[in-house]
């Protein structure tokens, strides 16, 4: 009873009082859910919010040595910035909710694409950077927030009109959905499921190259899930399509959101093929090269830095994606599991 009274009385003005009664994680999730469902609560949250700035989907970053930092701008500062660039206060309502801190400080992304880029950059002492170029130099926490924000901004940008009636759509304040002004149809931000599979024959692992990969890089097989498929079916089909092998068993490892080039949910799996039937036949439309590598070769590849200037790209001095990519984790797991197998 007491709890209920505290919550009702203090709901809007001091949400932390209410949410302190739950575990940190539950509190944060409930708070975010409230902001997604209730426009007025979201509007109130701007004051205590932290903002990440974007310019036509490019994140605002500051360089610190070899690393990039995503500056956190508070509600008062964002107001000042908007005033300074002669924007109305309502511009803040273009913001998208992208998460919150452990203390329930809401995080928002705001795209200032309608303003003058160079003026903002010089005023705030940083620059709007291509996320793909900066991604591997961002701290893990920033990388995840910024790529969520970019994916969400991109989705809203591409869903300004209803796919059924062609009428304009409008986002709710948090940006967790868009509603068609004509038909009332609601659409929610989406990710495309992609399976990423590390194939093993028990002693070697199969790595492939797509033509679009940086020179010298080999990775696990990847492919989009087709409509109607289970995860298992996608793994089996992709391995059959791309390298002509039949999967005997497979197991799930982990998943990751990947913002490039569009929002994907990368679902990482290990797959085992029969070592007697491990002869590869490549689908050249999908991949450029596929090779079996020994434990020793893979360990060496994990230790190599990305090399853009490999003279002979024959797979002898290949490297694998860096630790931020889930393919790296899959390869690490395989190496650990096969540590006892002689090369």
Contact positions toward Zn ion, by CB under 5 A? 162, 164-165, 167, 180, 182-183, 185
Judged by beta carbon, residue 56 or residue 183, the one nearer Zn ion is 183
Find the shortest distance in angstroms from Cβ 183 to Zn ion: 3
Q: DSSP assignment, residue 86?
A: T
Q: For Zn ion, give the closer residue by CB, 170 or 323.
A: 170
Task: Count other C-beta atoms under 10 Å from residue 88's C-beta.
Answer: 9
Q: How far is the CB of 178 from Zn ion (least distance, A)?
A: 10
Locate the DSSP E strands across 106-204.
Answer: 106-111, 127-128, 169-171, 178-180, 186-187, 192-200
Residue count of the chain:
343
Q: Which is nearer to Zn ion, 181 or 324 (CB)?
A: 181
Q: Please, what is the minimum distance in Å from the beta carbon of residue 97 to Zn ion?
A: 24
Pick 184 or 214: Cβ nearer Zn ion: 184
Q: What is the DSSP letter of 168?
A: B
Write down the least CB distance from residue 156 to Zn ion, Å: 16
For Zn ion, the closer of residues 139 and 164 by Cβ is 164
**256 within 8 A of 268, measured Cβ to Cβ:** yes
Of residues 167 and 274, the one with the C-beta less far from Zn ion: 167
- The dihedral over CA atoms of 106, 325, 333, 280, expressed in degrees to the nearest 10, equals 150
Chain centre distance of CA 292: 29
DSSP annotation of 110: E
Any idea what DSSP says for residue 203?
Answer: S
165: which residues sit within 8 A by CB, 6+ positions away?
A: 180, 182, 183, 185
Integer-rounded Cα radius of gyration of the chain: 24
Exposure b/e, 282-313, CB count within 10 A at least 16 = b: beeebbebbbbbebebbeebeeeeeeeebeee
CB of 216 to Zn ion, least distance (A): 48
CA dihedral 331→336→338→343, nearest 10 degrees, is 80
Pairing of strands 205-209, 192-200: antiparallel
User: Considering beta carbons, is residue 28 or 178 the nearer one to Zn ion?
Assistant: 178
Q: Minimum CB separation from Zn ion for residue 182, in Å?
A: 5
The minimum distance between CB 170 and Zn ion, in angstroms, equals: 11
CB of 181 to Zn ion, least distance (A): 8
Residue (160 or 316) nearer to Zn ion, CB:
160
């Amino acid at each position: 009873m007491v709890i209920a009274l505290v919550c009702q009385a203090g709901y809007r003005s001091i949400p932390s009082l209410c949410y302190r009664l739950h575990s940190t994680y539950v509190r944060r999730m409930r708070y975010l859910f409230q902001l997604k469902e209730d426009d007025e609560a979201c509007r109130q949250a701007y004051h205590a919010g932290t903002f990440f700035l974007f310019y036509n989907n490019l994140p605002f970053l500051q360089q610190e040595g070899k690393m990039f930092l995503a500056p956190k701008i508070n509600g008062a500062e964002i107001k000042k910035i908007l005033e300074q660039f002669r924007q109305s206060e309502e511009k803040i309502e273009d913001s998208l909710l992208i998460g919150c801190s452990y203390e329930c400080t809401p995080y928002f992304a705001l795209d200032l694409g309608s303003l003058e880029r160079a003026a903002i950059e010089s005023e705030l002492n940083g620059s709007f950077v291509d996320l793909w170029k900066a991604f591997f130099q961002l701290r893990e926490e920033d990388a995840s927030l910024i790529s969520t924000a970019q994916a969400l901004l991109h989705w809203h940008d591409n869903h300004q009109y209803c796919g059924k009636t062609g009428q304009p759509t409008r986002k709710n304040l948090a940006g967790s959905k868009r509603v068609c002004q004509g038909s009332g149809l609601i659409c929610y931000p989406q990710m495309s499921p992609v399976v990423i599979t590390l194939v093993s024959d028990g002693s070697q692992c199969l790595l492939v190259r797509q033509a679009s990969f940086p020179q010298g890089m080999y990775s696990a097989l990847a492919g989009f899930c087709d409509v109607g498929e289970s995860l298992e079916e996608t793994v089996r089909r992709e391995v059959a399509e791309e390298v002509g092998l039949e999967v005997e068993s497979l197991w799930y490892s982990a998943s990751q959101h990947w913002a490039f080039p569009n929002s994907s949910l990368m679902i990482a799996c290990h797959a085992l093929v029969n070592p007697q039937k491990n002869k590869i036949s490549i689908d050249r439309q999908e991949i450029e090269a596929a090779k079996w590598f020994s434990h020793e070769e893979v360990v060496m590849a994990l230790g190599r830095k990305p090399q853009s200037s490999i003279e002979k790209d024959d797979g002898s001095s290949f490297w694998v994606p860096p630790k931020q990519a889930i393919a790296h984790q899959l390869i690490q797991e395989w190496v650990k599991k096969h540590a006892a197998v002689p090369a």
